[in-house]
Amino acid sequence: MMGHYRMILILALAVFLPGGAAAENKRGHELYHAYCSQCHGVNGDGFGVNAGYMDVLPKDHTETKEMKSRSDDDLFKAIKSGGAAVNKSVLMPAWGNNIADEDIRALVVYLRELSKPVE
């Protein structure tokens, strides 16, 4: 029985301590709303407040099929170096000078959460 409780404690620590998946997801959520939601929308659907002023609609990050077709490396590169770096819209700015690589990785984790199908 003691082993069972130890396993639960280890899992809880992995999720709730900084650096765990939950902390990274929270950080990604915060960054998304600070840097991405103006164009991609607060729900990630591509309908942010700036979307109406763009010639090309921002990517819908909730579109599971489309997001599955992009690797984590592609998403990282698009955020860091801009849309043109991955043959996407030049309207997607390069955030590499404003967002640290570790935070870009947290954004990629959050994007994967947004694109999970609703169960």
- Quick one: pLDDT at residue 21? 62
pLDDT of the chain along its 119 residues, tens only?
Answer: 444 444 443 444 444 444 556 666 899 999 999 999 999 999 999 999 999 999 999 999 999 999 999 999 999 999 999 999 999 999 999 999 999 999 999 999 999 999 987 66
Cβ-contact 100, 108 below 8 angstroms? no
Token reading at 99: 């967002």
- Quick one: pLDDT at residue 2? 46
- Quick one: pLDDT at residue 24? 66
- Quick one: pLDDT at residue 116? 87
The model's pTM: 0.78
In angstroms, the CA 85 to CA 27 distance is: 24
Rg (CA), the chain: 16
- Quick one: pLDDT at residue 9? 38
Domains of the chain: 19-114 (1.10.760.10)
HEC assignment per residue over 64-82: HHHHHCCCHHHHHHHHHHC
- Quick one: pLDDT at residue 7? 41
- Quick one: pLDDT at residue 22? 67
